[in-house]
Amino acid sequence: MIEGSSALREYEESMSLRHGQALARAMTADPHLSRSATACEATARFAIDAYALACRADDPGATVDEVFRMIEAAWEVTAP
């Protein structure tokens, strides 16, 4: 249904952006994470976008697993 409506696609995109920004702010504010705002924003956006990728994939579970392996690797290299 979302793919068939440009208004719904635009709403989904704006909602994903808002959720990604909120997650990034929460991650940046957490003193135990000790990552830059850039690392938090990129990680948050990738995590939110994993859902959209999984929805379009032939194997959603495998897609989420693959994306999160990449997210975890990227997160690790941003450690202080």
The share of the chain scoring above pLDDT 90, in percent, equals: 78
Contacts of 27 (CB under 8 A, 6+ apart): 33, 35, 40, 43, 44
Residues 1-30 have a mean pLDDT of 89
30 torsion bin: left (phi>0), alpha (psi -120 to 50), beta (else): beta
pLDDT in tens, 50-75: 988 998 999 999 999 999 999 999 99
Query: Which pLDDT score is estimated for 75?
Result: 95
Residues 18-27 have a mean pLDDT of 96
Has residue 1 got a pLDDT over 70? no
pTM of structure: 0.83
